[in-house]
Structure 1
Amino acid sequence: MKNVFLTFAFLCSGFLIAQEGTNMKKVITPPEVVKIAFEREYPGKVAVWSEEYVGDDEDEIRFEAKYNITNTTKAVAIYDNLGNMKAYELQIPFSQLPPRSQAYLKKNYAPKAIREIAMVVDDKKKTTYEVGVSKDAKFYDVVFDKDGGFDVSIEKN
């Protein structure tokens, strides 16, 4: 029985390690200038940091600070390597979407298809709403402008 348990534990840990490599970003420690910028903007918040390469040739680096606003609300602050904030994402409930966005989603997607909703403010202070939805075994980001008008739907891998 002990051997069966050990074999099972070994297989599970191997599966989890394999999943970590494919689905999760590597947790990192950002440059000091980025850390200071985050701490100045969000004093007392504890972030989990990851990095992502962006741009046409993936030659720009972004540092993502994921943290909790409350026990049920999460946020992400995204910085460049100089500590300049590039975007801020705040998890919001469906009821905080503009009415036009709510109407579009109700018409085009089943309620269970909606997976995540965020208000996004970029470095130019442009506000958009991003709604992650599942449809036909695919995942999409449906993007709305600040007034709730449909902007674009982007298929995610």
Structure 2
Amino acid sequence: MKNIFFAIAFLYSSFLIGQNGVSPNKAVTPPEIVVFAFQKEYPGKVPVWTMEYVGDDDDEIRYEAKYTTDKKTKALAVYDNLGVLKAYELQIPLSQLPQKAQTYLKKNYPTNAVKEIAVVVDDKNKTTYEVGIQKDSKFYDVVFDKNGGFDVIVEKD
């Protein structure tokens, strides 16, 4: 009986230990090289850091620094574990979206469907615009190229 109790206790404790992994959306402290790269690029900004696994096998780590550029404009800088900037995303108003993209949105979506708009610059200096749309209780990113031409729509979690 004593052995059965110990076996059950051991089994339960191993499940508890397995639950102590890092949550991808929980605030983290990135490596010093990542923090240094952020501070060099955006001096005086105070970010909230999160970590995400990306890649085909979720084997690459990305550190995301969320911060505000002024009183309420949100920005996001994404770094790899070596401190290389992989993407920069800045929230913008609808008026800063290229006219071609504005026309597309007005034609295809009601005004209240648009939830957020951002300009995104990746590590290859390619600029795109991402518009967050709420439709049929699902969230989508409608992506436009730098000239406002429709590129793709992606369902988000």
TM range (shorter): 0.7 to 0.9
Residue 112 of structure 1 aligns with an amino acid whose one-letter code is: N
Residue matched to 1:80: 80
How far apart are 1:132 and its partner, in Å? 0.3
Residue matched to 1:14: none
Cα distance in 2 for residues equivalent to 1:98 and 1:155: 22
Cα distance in 2 for residues equivalent to 1:136 and 1:49: 31
Q: Mapping of 1:7-156 within 5 angstroms?
A: 25-156=25-156
Residue 75 of structure 1 aligns with an amino acid whose one-letter code is: A
Cα distance in 2 for residues equivalent to 1:91 and 1:156: 17
Residue 56 of structure 2 aligns with an amino acid whose one-letter code is: D
Q: Give CA deviations for 1:7-30 in whole Å, capped at 9, x if unaligned.
A: xxxxxxxxxxxxxxxxx8100000
Secondary structure, counterpart of 1:28 in structure 2: coil
Cα distance in 2 for residues equivalent to 1:28 and 1:75: 18
Runs of 4+ in 1 over 6 A off after TM superposition: none
Residue 88 of structure 1 aligns with an amino acid whose one-letter code is: Y
5+ residue gaps, structure 1, are 1-23
Residue 137 of structure 2 aligns with an amino acid whose one-letter code is: A
Q: Give CA deviations for 1:79-110 in whole Å, capped at 9, x if unaligned.
A: 00000000000000000000000000001111
Return the TM-score normalized by structure 1: 0.84
Return the TM-score normalized by structure 2: 0.84
Cα distance in 2 for residues equivalent to 1:46 and 1:156: 27
How far apart are 1:72 and its partner, in Å? 1.6
CA RMSD of aligned residues (A): 0.8
How far apart are 1:71 and its partner, in Å? 1.2
Cα distance in 1 for residues equivalent to 2:106 and 2:25: 32
Residue matched to 1:15: none
How far apart are 1:137 and its partner, in Å? 1.3
Cα distance in 2 for residues equivalent to 1:95 and 1:26: 33
Residue 138 of structure 1 aligns with an amino acid whose one-letter code is: K
Cα distance in 2 for residues equivalent to 1:91 and 1:59: 28
Q: Give CA deviations for 1:101-137 in whole Å, capped at 9, x if unaligned.
A: 0000001111110011000000000000000001111
Residue 113 of structure 2 aligns with an amino acid whose one-letter code is: A
The count of residues paired between Structure 1 and Structure 2 equals 134
How far apart are 1:156 and its partner, in Å? 1.1
Residue 67 of structure 2 aligns with an amino acid whose one-letter code is: Y
How far apart are 1:146 and its partner, in Å? 0.3
Cα distance in 2 for residues equivalent to 1:101 and 1:61: 32
